[in-house]
Amino acid sequence: MRKVVGAAVAVAMLAGAPAGAACWSPEQTAAARIRDLQSQLMVSTLKCQVIHVDLTKEYNAFVGGNRTVIGTINTRLKTFFIRGEGPVGGQSAYDRFTTSLANAYGASKTNSTTCEEARALATEAAMMANSEEGLLLLADRAGIAPRLPGGRCETMASAGASAGTSAVVTAAK
């Protein structure tokens, strides 16, 4: 009976996740947040150019000053997607994910105030000098919380614990 209930709980937990999507560990979530910060700054740099505010110097300083951590988090993200979808599907899933991060900022308003805010964020991010923790603090302050397909593992574990308790109680009746 316990095996049947356990299997039912496992199937119920998997049914809510898209095919190939695994839950995101704290390390993978951190990588997604830093990648989202990079996307926000990149899109802001491009959008601000349209209104003749040039953030290229600040954006390039951010990328140059954090090249190692940016490479590390991108590798972490690619590995996550490749493990779930295989080499070809994983690369495509990574590309879709990073594109969706950038697209989320495409419709936001752009004016001199938002450009100066982006300039300040890029300048501060450049000073983090490859500190993942520092970039995460900036992402927190900027309210960066990317949508994670499959959800966070902690959330999934909590849902599983609740579902497991509920399923056991139901089965006991």
Give the gyration radius of the chain's Cα atoms: 20
- pTM given for the model: 0.78
Model pLDDT for residues 141-164, shown as the tens digit of each residue: 999 999 999 999 975 555 544 444
Only one residue has tokens 């290229």, namely 56
pLDDT at 168 over 50: no
Q: Which two tokens stand for residue 139?
A: 């992402």
* Higher pLDDT, residue 5 or 48: 48
Q: How many residues would you count in the chain?
A: 173
Q: Which amino acid is at 173?
A: K
Q: Partners of 24 in the beta sheet?
A: 152
Model pLDDT for residues 96-147, shown as the tens digit of each residue: 999 999 999 998 999 999 999 999 999 999 999 999 999 999 999 999 999 9
Model pLDDT for residues 43-67, shown as the tens digit of each residue: 999 999 999 999 999 999 999 999 9
Average pLDDT over every residue of 79-98:
96
Query: What is the C-alpha separation between 66 and 147, in angstroms, rounded?
Result: 23
Only one residue has tokens 């900036």, namely 138
Model pLDDT for residues 20-45, shown as the tens digit of each residue: 568 999 999 999 999 999 999 999 99
pLDDT at 1 over 50: no
Q: Which amino acid is at 31?
A: A
Q: How far is CA 2 from CA 7, 73, 156, in A?
A: 8, 40, 20
- Print burial letters for 12-36: b (CB count within 10 Å at least 16), e (below 16): ebeeeeeeebbbbeeebbbbbbbbb
